[in-house]
């Protein structure tokens, strides 16, 4: 009896402690960065070219370069050196990491969705792509309607993708419907595609371009189909951190206006970049719209 009581007391103490710790982290992030001199950013580790390990084991990518620019803007703002702590994130951990305050910002390849807006905040959209299909070069699949009765792979954490395909099936675009196969990581899905387990892999064109570029023989693969959905990416920010979000948005606009953004884009997605991906007209228009006057 006594043991049980003690156990119950322990559980209650533990829970109160957790709640207390959770409520104690509501300090404004900008103030925290100034006080501690540390900013924590999360990046992707396996998403070419947004954030990945190259063959030398260096952590590089479009997202990291963007993070360095924001880091610079922070140092400028506070007029002192700020330490940048980098943490890895993946589609499953990215939201929790931001929600529980482990990181101040997540920079990956995350589509802004209204569902996600309920638990976190997003920056302005800084990247625009759409969902397409990766297929073997001589595949009969040219567009989404050709997917009828085929096996299509996608990431199990890519909810925006999955919903998009479900909608296409519901609207009768793919008839009879295709079979969805879910993979934890895009690279596992690509392996399955190479082995013929699936007929096509479905996700954002930017990610498909990365998969194709990193394939053994990139020419064996083709990105097919029109955009099924638009996928605007945003930086992941915690909720109720208005000043932090304002700062990030202002930094983004400055990076775009100064031409630095195009420089980084070309480094990764330009014709000679790691993952050649032509910037669509919609994306160009988006960047123009983001060039807010001072």
User: If DSSP codes are grouped into helix, strand and coil, which group holds residue 252?
Assistant: helix
Between 23 and 55, name the residue whose CB sits nearer to other proteins: 23
Note the helical H segments in 144-290: 159-170, 186-194, 205-213, 242-257, 260-269, 281-289
Distance CA 39, CA 29 (A): 9
Binding of other proteins by 91 (CB under 8 A)? yes
Q: Which of the ranges 40-48, 68-76, 130-138, 180-188 carries the binding residues for other proteins, by CB under 8 A?
A: 180-188
Q: What does R_g of the chain's alpha carbons equal in angstroms?
A: 21
Minimum CB–partner distance for residue 25 and other proteins (Å): 6
| Dmax (CA) of the chain | 72
Binding of other proteins by 170 (CB under 8 A)? no
Binding of other proteins by 7 (CB under 8 A)? no
Q: Which of the ranges 129-137, 191-199, 220-228, 275-283 carries the binding residues for other proteins, by CB under 8 A?
A: 191-199
Binding of other proteins by 285 (CB under 8 A)? no
Identify any residues that bridge with 132 across adjacent strands, giving them in sequence order.
203
Token readout for 179 is: 């079979």
Token readout for 192 is: 């399955």
Q: Which of the ranges 104-112, 188-196, 247-255, 284-292 carries the binding residues for other proteins, by CB under 8 A?
A: 188-196
Binding of other proteins by 184 (CB under 8 A)? yes
Subset of residues 49 to 78 that bind other proteins, contact rule: CB under 8 A = none
Write the DSSP assignment of 27-74 as a string of letters. Answer: S-HHHHHHHH-EEEEEEESEETTTEEE-TTS-EE-HHHHHHHHHHHHH
Which of 133, 152, 181, 256: binder of other proteins (CB under 8 A)? Answer: 181
Give yes or no for a contact between 280 and 128, defined as CB atoms under 8 angstroms apart: yes
Between 17 and 289, name the residue whose CB sits nearer to other proteins: 17
Between 170 and 289, name the residue whose CB sits nearer to other proteins: 170
Q: Which residues bind other proteins (CB under 8 A)?
A: 18-19, 22-23, 25-26, 91-92, 95, 99-101, 115, 118-119, 151, 156-157, 159, 163, 179, 181-184, 191-192, 195-197
């Amino acid at each position: 009896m006594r043991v049980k009581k003690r156990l119950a007391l322990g559980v209650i103490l533990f829970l109160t402690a957790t709640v207390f710790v959770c409520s104690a982290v509501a300090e404004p992030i900008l103030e925290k960065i100034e006080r501690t001199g540390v900013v924590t950013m999360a990046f992707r580790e396996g998403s070419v070219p947004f954030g990945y390990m190259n063959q030398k084991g260096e952590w590089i990518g479009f997202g990291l370069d963007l993070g360095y620019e924001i880091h610079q803007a922070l140092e400028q703002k506070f007029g002192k050196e700020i330490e940048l702590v980098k943490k890895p994130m993946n589609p499953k951990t990215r939201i929790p990491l931001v929600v529980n305050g482990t990181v101040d910002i997540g920079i990956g390849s995350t589509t802004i969705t209204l569902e996600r807006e309920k638990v976190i905040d997003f920056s302005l959209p800084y990247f625009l792509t759409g969902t397409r299909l990766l297929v073997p070069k001589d595949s009969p699949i040219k567009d989404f309607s050709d997917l009828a009765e085929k096996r299509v792979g996608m990431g199990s954490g890519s909810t925006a993708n999955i919903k998009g395909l479900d909608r296409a099936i519901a609207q009768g675009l793919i008839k009879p419907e295709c079979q969805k196969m879910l993979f934890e990581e895009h690279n596992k899905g690509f392996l399955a595609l190479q082995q013929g387990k699936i007929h096509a892999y479905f996700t954002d064109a930017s990610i498909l371009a990365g998969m194709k570029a990193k394939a053994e023989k990139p020419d064996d693969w083709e990105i097919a189909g029109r955009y099924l959905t638009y996928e605007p990416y945003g930086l992941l920010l915690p909720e109720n951190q208005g000043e932090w979000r304002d700062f990030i948005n202002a930094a983004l606009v400055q990076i775009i206006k100064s031409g630095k953004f195009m420089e980084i884009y070309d480094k990764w997605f330009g014709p000679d970049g790691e993952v050649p991906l032509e910037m669509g007209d919609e994306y160009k228009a988006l960047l123009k719209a983001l060039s807010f006057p001072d």
